[in-house]
């Protein structure tokens, strides 16, 4: 199956999730994220502003802000590059391209080496931590330049342990996957 076919199949599964299942898995993922951050304390998180069909990250980020954790979101730059800027709340975001929420130009930018953990979005992951994203390649380009710890939040339908799609030379594996499973989260360490 091609990456485009796998993208379509995963998007269908995500759109087919009931509201209750989605909310239950998001709750489990947030609890798992708190457990992860307790085990691996971080002060500066590079996050993403996700909404359906992705994991809704806005509520998570707002809670983490209240806990004193600094949140940084990507800003799209030329040539499919991105930089991370301070997130202080939803009112400080602008909408670009296809409903992408990003900090305004004047938001404080963080140097990549000062990021403690990058929360990486995507559609489908395999047991090696390789993912199929939305096709833009922004995160792969960013992660190719910086050696930073990475983590992804997955609904149960987004993990394909066998995952035999072709891995390109520019693809970067995610270190840890938090996978929603029934009423618990599985913390999966990638085997690359």
Q: Mean pLDDT across the chain, nearest whole number?
A: 90
pLDDT, tens only, 31-84: 999 999 999 999 999 999 998 889 999 999 999 999 999 999 999 898 888 999
For residue 192, pLDDT beyond 70: no
Tokens at 111, concatenated: 């140097």
Give the model's pLDDT for residue 191. 54
Helices (H) and strands (E) in the chain, counts: 4, 12
The model carries a pTM of 0.92
Pairing of β 176-181 and β 184-189? antiparallel
169: pLDDT strictly greater than 90: no
Backbone angles phi, psi at 85, to 5 degrees: -130, 150
- Angle at which helices 19-39 and 58-66 pack, to 10 degrees? 30
Helix (H), strand (E) at residue 176: strand 176-181
User: What does the chain come to in residues?
Assistant: 192
Summarize the confidence of residues 125-154 as an average pLDDT. Answer: 90
Please count the structural domains in the chain.
1
Range of the domain at 24: 3-189
**In the block, which residue shows the tokens 């199949």?**
9
Q: Output the domain CATH number for residue 174.
A: 3.40.50.10420
Exposed/middle/buried for residue 95 (C-beta within 10 Å: 0-12, 13-18, 19+): exposed
pLDDT value for 171: 81
DSSP for 129-192? S-EE-SS--HHHHHHHH----EEEEE-GGGB-SS--PPPPTT----SEEEEEETTEEEEEE---
184 pLDDT tier (thresholds 50, 70, 90): confident
């Amino acid at each position: 199956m091609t990456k485009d076919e796998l993208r379509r199949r995963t998007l269908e599964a995500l759109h087919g999730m009931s509201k209750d299942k989605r909310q239950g898995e998001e709750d489990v993922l947030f609890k798992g994220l708190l457990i992860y951050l307790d085990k691996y304390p971080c002060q500066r998180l590079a996050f993403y502003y996700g909404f359906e069909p992705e994991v809704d990250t806005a509520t998570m980020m707002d809670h983490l802000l209240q806990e004193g954790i600094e949140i940084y979101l990507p800003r799209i730059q030329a040539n499919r590059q991105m930089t991370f800027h301070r997130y202080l709340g939803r009112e400080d975001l602008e909408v670009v391209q296809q409903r992408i929420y990003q900090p305004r130009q004047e938001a404080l930018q963080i140097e990549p080496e000062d990021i403690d953990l990058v929360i990486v979005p995507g559609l489908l992951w395999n047991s090696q931590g390789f993912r199929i994203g939305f096709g833009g390649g922004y995160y792969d380009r960013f992660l190719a330049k910086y050696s930073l710890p990475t983590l992804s939040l997955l609904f149960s339908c987004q993990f394909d342990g066998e995952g035999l799609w072709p891995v390109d030379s520019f693809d970067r594996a995610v270190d840890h996957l938090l996978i929603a499973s029934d009423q618990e989260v599985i913390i999966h360490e990638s085997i690359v």
